[in-house]
Each structure stands twice: as C-alpha cells, then as structure tokens.
A and B are shown apart, each in its own frame.
Chain A
Amino acid sequence: MKRWVRILLFFVALGAVWEGLVRAGVWSYVLVPPPSAVARYLITSVADGTLLSASWVTLKRLLLGYVAGFALGHSLGILIARFKFFEKTVGLLALGLQALPSICWAPLALLWFGQTETAMFFIVIMGSVWSITLATDAGVRNVPPIYVRAARTMGSRGVHTWARVILPAALPFIVTGMKQGWAFAWRSLMAAEIYITILTGFGLGHLLHYGRELQAMDAVFGIMLVIILIGLLTDKLLFSPFEKFIKHRWGTEKD
C-alpha cells in the first residue's frame, strides 16, 4: 500500500511541476500544454468517440498483422531450424530483413497496395515476422539434444517430438522473439499511420498527425499517452502469462 502511495505521489508531483511551469510562463502553453489541457482533450475526444474508434482501428491492424506475422514467422523459423537449405537461404534473408526497419517498406507498400488496409497489414507483418522467425530458429537450435533423445527412447517421433518436446523446450526463446516482434510491429504501425493516410480508417497515428497539423499539442500529448497505455496493456495481457509460466516452471528468475 505504501509503495502505491509513493508511486502515485511521484506522478502527481510530476504533473504538478509540469502544470506549474506552464502556468508560470516558463513553458509555452502552445508547445507544451499542461496536464489539465491534455485531460480536457482526452475527456472530450473519448466522449465524442474519435479516440476510441481510432484506438480500435489501430489495434485491429496491429492484432491482425501480428497474428499473421507470428504464424508466418513461426513456420519459417521451424523450416530454417529443420532444413539446411532454408537455413542458408531464408535464414540469411531473415537476418538481413530484420536489420531493416519495417517502415522502409512503406513506399513499396503504397505502390503495391495503394492507400489501403493491405498496405498497413503488410508493414505490420514485415515488422514482426523476422524477429519471430529468428527467435524460433534460435530456440529450436538451443534445445538440449538430450531432451530429444530421451523423448525418442520413449517412442516420440516426428510431429509429436516437435509439438511436445522441441517447441515447448524452445518456449523461452520464442516468447522473447514474440515480444520483440510485437515491439517492432507496434513501432512500425505508428510510423506508418503518421506517414500514410488510409481512407478506410483513422488510427491513432493519423490522429497524432492531424494534431500536429492543427497545432493542437494537447491532442498530440493525449494521443501519445493513449499509445503508451496500449503498449503497456498489450504487453501485460499478451506476454505476462507466458513469462509467468516460464518463470514458474524453469525457475529462471528468483525474487
């Protein structure tokens, strides 16, 4: 309880200092609107629905792209780990493309798919797929061979060995890769939404962009806050259960 109070006090103090500096005229009201103005924006935009619908558009893009990226990356990772040919070809490609920030695909995506949801989908996939591919590959490679040998003597073969031994054993690696893929996808989607206007739906990135064009810095700050919250929330909801399981079973961390 005491810890919570301290954390709360810290943020209240931060807000108060910020508010005070703006009111005292040290910071410009236009460039750094105070927390009260940001709060006012958040309340009105939640009330008129713009913020929620934008959040929904963004989340939908992120989730769809991420699920596709995960399915693709996971399969590619298994292929790379399993077959020498894929390791030497797709593996190399994955390594190279992971080094490319996926927003760099935006110009091509625009030409190929136009200002459509598909372009967004493509950019999110490109952001997440390579991290997941490489992590799956690394995870599978790092499975102690003794696990597979033990499983084989118990009569495990082929698909059963993959599903019940190799992939579970690789789980710590895979979850790390999934988190990285998620972070990349989230960042590239934000960049893409700021950069490309899609007429079928306005995401948080677009809203941020218009906030700048309208010189509405209270909106910019408010949307940034929402973006932070969504990032934190999805991280907790999606990955915390996995991480807790890994910690519990593997006992990797002690606290």
Chain B
Amino acid sequence: MTPAEELQNVPPVKLAVEGVSKTFRTRRAAVHALDNVTLDVREGEFVCLVGPSGCGKTTLLNIIAGLEVPDAGRVLADGKPITGAGSDRLVLFQEPALFPWLDVMGNVLFGLKLKPNLKPKERKEVAEFYLKLVGLEKFTHANIHELSGGMKQRTALARALAPNPRVLLMDEPFASLDALTREQLYGDLQVIWEKRKKTIVFVTHNTREAVCLGNRVVLFSPHPGRVQEQFDIGLPRPRDINSVDLAKHATEITRALKRHLKPDLQEVAE
C-alpha cells in the first residue's frame, strides 16, 4: 500500500489475488492461462477484466469463484483463503445455465433455498422482488425453454442476486444478447450495484462495456495471462454506453490492448 493510499479512507480489500498461476495440460500441449497474477479488489468496487480471448480472465474468475484451483498462489476473500465455491461469491456465466426442470420462479428460489433462516414465504417474497427488478414479474411460472435469450440471462441475474451475495462474478454475461437488451441491462446493473453495494468482478473483451460499468479496468494480455495495465474510470454515473466521453476512455484502452498484443503477434510471426 502506498503512503497516499494509507492517508485515504479506502474500503478494505474484499478479494486479494496473490501470485496466481494456472496451466492447463491437454494431451498435446500445455496452455499457460495465468502467470503470477496479483490483483486487489476492494469492497464495493466494480472491476472489469478486459483482454482478448485466451488471456485467462475467465480462468481467474473461476478461481475466485472457487470452481478451479490455482497451481500457484492463492485468493483471499475477506482475508481468508478460498477453498471452494461459496454462495458469498455468486457467478453469472456466459450462458444462463438455468435449470430446465424448474420454472423461472423455481430457478430463482434454488439459491434461496440453500440459505438458512428463511421461511418459505420470505423466500418467495425475495424471489418476487428480484424478478421484478429484472422485469420478469409476469413470467414467474414460465418454462425456461419459452424464454428469449435476454429473458434467460435476466432470470440468471435474478437467481444470482436473490441470495444477496456480497460478491458477484460475471463472465461476459451479456455477450449473446442483442444491443438494446444489453444497454438496458447495463443501466440495471449499475443501479443494482449502487443500491445493493455489491463488489463486482466483470469479465469482458468489450472495452466500451468495461468502461461503461467499471470503476477500474484491468487489462490482461494473453499467452500467458498477465495483468498489463490498470485504468481508473472516474466518469459520473449512471453511464451511457453511447456517450462520447465514454468512447474516448474506451479508445484509450483499446489502443493499450493493441499495444500489448503486438509483441505477442511478433513472436508468432517469428
């Protein structure tokens, strides 16, 4: 911690990634997904991890979620090492991963039922609150296969929010949605983040999306996955993805991204 930070009233570190490395070995090759990544995420921060595909950002997210184990290094949540998945860190995956044998309500209730100290009636109220928040109050008893892509991802968002996790881990959750739905969800997510005081780690390869959502954008480079640069985004909220200011920031980051990619491309050319 620098002296300047020491003098500020900074919120405590929620997630501490300490020297995490991970290599995936297939029969043919070893993929060095993460190389000695160190990163702090503070309580209430909205951090976006940006990088081209193959830079290990999803792997890092899975490690934070406790779904994968790093080869070296460790991740601390509230100062305690992460030993497995836990409902304090909920994940919103790229695909909605909704359960087809349950209806919309059943899906949102799934996580809630795993929380002790809640009566069935209270659970239902909480689920209804979040379904309303994502605009699905009229579809509580719809089957999953009847929903559009956007509605599925909204259901998944409600399911992830319902157990009220302190940390939300999002892995390109809006990538497969149409632009309009996505823009609406950018707004919703910013409101939810502010209102519910969540710590969010958001993975994306879209720099505009990252600038629109994050307080901080962390740039990753691939092969092996490393943190290259970090950008603090001080734009006022709520942010509109179409604003010119936002585009300027995004362009700057895109340029940096290309700069970090270049040496990699040269290596390949050689």
A residues near B (Cβ < 8 Å) are 144, 146-147, 149-156, 160, 164-165, 168-169, 171, 248-251
**A contact patch SS:** helix
CB distance from A98 to the nearest CB of B (A): 27
Contact A151 B143 (CB under 8 A): no
Report Cα–Cα, A151/B102, bound state, in Å. Answer: 13
A–B Cβ pairs within 8 angstroms, 29 of them: A146-B93, A146-B95, A147-B99, A151-B110, A152-B67, A152-B85, A153-B85, A153-B90, A153-B91, A154-B87, A154-B111, A154-B114, A155-B85, A155-B86, A155-B87, A155-B115, A168-B99, A168-B101, A168-B102, A169-B100, A171-B101, A249-B100, A249-B101, A249-B102, A249-B103, A249-B144, A250-B100, A250-B101, A251-B145
Contact A153 B87 (CB under 8 A): yes
Contact of B97 among A149, A168, A171 (CB under 8 A): A149
Given A153-B85, A153-B90, A155-B87, A250:B145 Cβ within 8 A: yes
Contact of A153 among B67, B95, B143, B144 (CB under 8 A): B67
Contact A154 B67 (CB under 8 A): no
Contact of B163 among A152, A154, A165 (CB under 8 A): A154
In the complex, which residues of chain B have a beta carbon less than 8 angstroms from the beta carbon of A153?
65-67, 85-87, 89-91
Report Cα–Cα, A169/B110, bound state, in Å. Answer: 14
Contact A249 B67 (CB under 8 A): no
What's the A-B contact tally at a CB cutoff of 8 Å? Answer: 68
B residues near A (Cβ < 8 Å) are 65-67, 84-87, 89-91, 93, 95, 97, 99-103, 110-111, 114-115, 143-146, 159, 163
Contact of A251 among B84, B90, B146 (CB under 8 A): B146
Contact A147 B85 (CB under 8 A): no
In the complex, which residues of chain A have a beta carbon less than 8 angstroms from the beta carbon of B111?
154-155
Contact B99 A149 (CB under 8 A): no
Contact A169 B99 (CB under 8 A): yes
Please give me the 4 A-B residue pairs with the lowest Cβ-Cβ distance, nearest first: A251-B145, A155-B87, A154-B111, A152-B85
CB distance from A142 to the nearest CB of B (A): 13
Report Cα–Cα, A250/B110, bound state, in Å. Answer: 18
Report Cα–Cα, A156/B107, bound state, in Å. Answer: 13
Contact of A248 among B86, B87, B143 (CB under 8 A): B143
Report Cα–Cα, A228/B144, bound state, in Å. Answer: 38
Across the interface, name the chain A residue whose C-beta is closest to B114: A155
In the complex, which residues of chain B have a beta carbon less than 8 angstroms from the beta carbon of A154?
87, 90, 110-111, 114, 159, 163
Given A152-B85, A153-B90, A147:B143 Cβ within 8 A: no
Given A153-B85, A251-B143, A147:B163 Cβ within 8 A: no
